[in-house]
Amino acid sequence: MTINQSGWRPERPESDAANAGDTFTGNRALMLEEPLIFEIGGNSTTGVDFDAAPTAGVDRLAGLGRTAAIGLPGLSEPETVRHYTRLSRQNYAIDLGLFPLGSCTMKHNPRLNEKLARLPGFADVHPLQPVDTVQGALGVINELAHWLIRLTGMYGVAMTPKAGAHGELCGILCIKAALEARGENRKVILVPESAHGTNPATAAFAGFAIENIPANADGRVDLDTLKARLGPDVAGVMITNPNTCGLFERDMKAISDAVHAVGGYVYCDGANFNAIVGRVRPGDLGIDAMHINLHKTFSTPHGGGGPGAGPVVLSEALAPYGPLPFTARYADGHIRLIEEETAQDDHPNSFGRMTAFNGQMGMFTRALAYILSHGADGLRQVADDAVLNANYMLRQLEDVLEAPFGASGPCMHEALFSDAGFAEGFTTLDIAKALIDEGYHPMTMYFPLVVHGAMLIEPTETESKAAIDQFIGALRSVVERARAGDPALKAAPHFAPRRRLDETLAARKPVLVWKAPDLPVAAE
């Protein structure tokens, strides 16, 4: 560490010639170096002007009052605001530019949703408020539930799961409860090779054994292999559709029929619903349970770690086992919250509860605002434009990037490329790092696993042609450098505040505890 008058800043790598002319502050133009909050604010200062604690009187802490400083940094409000604003500028956001992460549906979040979610009747309600005082908020949950059922052609919906993976768990627990009700102990869930990593993780977490089903040359589930494996020990399948290769599972109905014929259930990972919303009703494909990521398809913001919302639509066979609580509108217009498994509440077979309360109110309000403002025609156009944009990208880049399934026809909402054709020693990682220099967040890389050095790009429907063309230009230029073996690419990013970090080390051994450095003592 070096120290200067503005505080602590990390040393730059010696080898970094571009940094030879370092600035006094460590800042580079508007890219600002920012120490940790503990390094800025000391224990001796505070941003709050409290009265001194009374020294006499009754001790209401039963002798458990604090005896030593707890080491929180003391900062003034402007110092705090600047700290977090500076940090936020080192991040990439959908409000800054195209966010090509495949499978994540990083699209624009309409400001209308934000406006409605902030209305006090939705934003300031408390989950323990009497039901009669929150009829409007419950109405939003109920109405959204109605539209999710309508859009998917399903029978019921569990609104409480808080993310896609949480929704998967909800669906698998419904399957488990349904099997138990039948008195069966089926142990196996079949998951295709191209599944999202959360699928096998969910099935394993719920106590099932996972068996892999390979993909065919078209990047889709191999129907014959799947059929051959079906039997009385199979609880069900978990299939992502459109799948993680960005392709529609054309055999979905045949898969569902075959699984049902042996008494199993069909879970569909619906995280990629954006590609088919308004065009395909999963209920028509024989699906029993599917989660919908409101934070993807229905544009409730994500990317900063939440919150998400992953309602699960259910078939008639699974709906009786869905979790509590849920809303129900009665003939007199009153909305009730069904909280117990009692027979009088008409939901005696629920597998239980996944969340303490009723789900993510803010996300529900945003999603309903999105659905109602788009209308049926608008939602269909969302799917159409998302698919069109991805296919444009696929065809525009095919001459420099290998598209493993490009020959099998159009893709859905995302374009998938491999690293074939790069010069010896050049990898997908080099492309991702060079994209940072170009001002983009990298695409999803090395996923799905079925494609070597995979690059998965989902432009979404909210990008203009100009924005997509600029991204294509940037990606093309770095791919051409990888094909030509430009050594500078191996050291990218050159312009980011940090260069190549050891991401594995950071993930495996994160340093989560800050230790006060031994401050050099100024000579008197």
Ligand X SMILES: *Cc1c(COP(=O)(O)O)cnc(C)c1O
229 within 8 A of 212, measured Cβ to Cβ: no
The nearer residue to ligand X, 9 or 296, going by C-beta atoms, is 296
Amino acid type, 459 = P
Give backbone dihedrals phi and psi of 121, rounded to 5 degrees, phi first.
-65, -20
196 is a contact residue toward ligand X (CB under 6 A): yes
- Identify which of residues 273 and 426 has a Cβ nearer to ligand X in the complex: 273
Q: What is the DSSP letter of 8?
A: E
- Tell me: does residue 161 bind ligand X (CB under 6 A): no
At closest approach, how far in Å is the CB of 245 from ligand X?
11
Q: Tell me if 163 contacts ligand X by CB under 6 A.
A: yes
Contacting residue, 41, 308, 362, 406, with ligand X by CB under 6 A: 308
- Exactly one of 160, 194, 240, 350 binds ligand X (CB under 6 A); that residue is 240
Q: Does 454 bind ligand X (CB under 6 A)?
A: no
Nearest to 266 by CA among 325, 205, 194, 192: 192
Phi, psi of 48 (to 5 degrees): -120, 140
Going by DSSP bridges, is the β-strand pair 265-269/289-291 parallel, antiparallel, or unpaired?
parallel
Which of 109, 194, 293, 297: binder of ligand X (CB under 6 A)?
Answer: 293
How far apart CA 359 and CA 368 sit, in angstroms, is 14
By the rule CB under 6 A, 164 interacts with ligand X: yes
Among 194, 256, 272, 350, binds ligand X (CB under 6 A): 272
Specify the pairing of strand 455-457 against strand 415-417.
antiparallel
Identity of the residue, 83 or 196, whose beta carbon is nearer to ligand X in the bound complex: 196
Residue at shortest CB range from ligand X: 164
Q: Which residue has the tokens 């940037």?
A: 474
Minimum CB separation of residue 57 from ligand X in Å reads 50
CB of 2 to ligand X, least distance (A): 39
> Is 198 a binder of ligand X (CB under 6 A)?
yes
Q: Which residue is associated with the tokens 């005896």? A: 67
List, in sequence order, the alpha helices (H) in 358-439: 361-397, 428-437
What beta strand segments (E) does 25-166 contain? Answer: 156-158
Residues 351, 321: contact at Cβ < 8 Å?
yes
Instruction: Tell me: does residue 165 bind ligand X (CB under 6 A).
Output: yes
Nearer to ligand X, 41 or 200 (CB): 200
Distance of CA 20 to the CA centre of its chain: 39
Q: Does 310 bind ligand X (CB under 6 A)?
A: yes
Q: Give me the sign of the Cα torsion angle 245, 248, 251, 254.
A: positive
Counting contacts by CB under 6 A, is residue 269 touching ligand X?
Answer: yes
240 vs 256 by CB, closer to ligand X = 240
CB of 449 to ligand X, least distance (A): 13
Smaller CB separation from ligand X, 293 or 389 = 293
Q: Which is nearer to ligand X, 170 or 361 (CB)?
A: 170
The least distance separating ligand X from the CB of residue 388, rounded to whole angstroms, comes to 20
**Under the phi-then-psi rule, with left for phi > 0, alpha for psi from -120 to 50, and beta for the rest, what region is 421?**
left
What are φ and ψ of residue 268, in 5° steps?
Answer: -115, 125
Comparing CB distances to ligand X, the nearer of 242 and 286 is 242
Pairing state between β 326-329 and 335-338: antiparallel
Distance CA 212, CA 65 (A): 57
Direct distance between the N- and C-terminal alpha carbons of the chain, in angstroms, rounded to an integer: 22
Cβ proximity to ligand X: between 113 and 240 the closer is: 240
Part in contact with ligand X (CB under 6 A); list of ranges 122-130, 161-169, 184-192, 444-452: 161-169
- Residue closer to ligand X by CB (options 142, 297) is 297
| 99 contacts 92 by C-beta, under 8 angstroms | yes
Question: What binding mask, one character per residue, do residues 121-160 give for ligand X by CB under 6 A, x or -?
Answer: ----------------------------------------
- Per CB under 6 A, which region of 28-36, 265-273, 318-326, 496-504 contacts ligand X? 265-273
If the CB atoms of residues 419 and 458 are measured against ligand X, the closer one turns out to be 458
CB of 502 to ligand X, least distance (A): 25
Residue 415, both tokens: 């374009």
Sign of CA dihedral 195, 197, 201, 204: positive
Q: Total residues at the site for ligand X (CB under 6 A)? A: 14
Return the number of the residue (103 or 142) whose C-beta is nearest ligand X.
Answer: 103
- Please, which residue, 320 or 459, has the CB nearer to ligand X? 459
Q: Closest approach of Cβ 299 to ligand X, in Å?
A: 14
Region binding ligand X by CB under 6 A among candidate stretches 41-49, 211-219, 268-276, 412-420:
268-276
Taking the complex as a whole, the smallest distance from the CB of residue 138 to ligand X amounts, in Å, to 24
Residues in the chain: 524
According to DSSP, the β-strands at 156-158 and 415-417 are unpaired
Q: How many angstroms separate the Cα of 147 from the Cα of each of 152, 164, 277, 524? A: 8, 18, 12, 72
Instruction: Give the separation between CA 141 and CA 122, rounded to whole angstroms.
Output: 11
Q: Which candidate, 503, 492, 438, places its Cα nearest to that of 18?
A: 492
Asked if 219 and 247 count as a contact pair (C-beta separation under 8 A), the reply is: yes
Q: At closest approach, how far in Å is the CB of 477 from ligand X?
A: 28
Q: How far is the CB of 242 from ligand X (least distance, A)?
A: 9
Which stretch, 163-171, 316-324, 397-405, 436-444, contacts ligand X (CB under 6 A)? Answer: 163-171
Residues that bind ligand X (CB under 6 A): 103, 163-165, 196, 198, 240, 244, 269, 271-272, 293, 308, 310
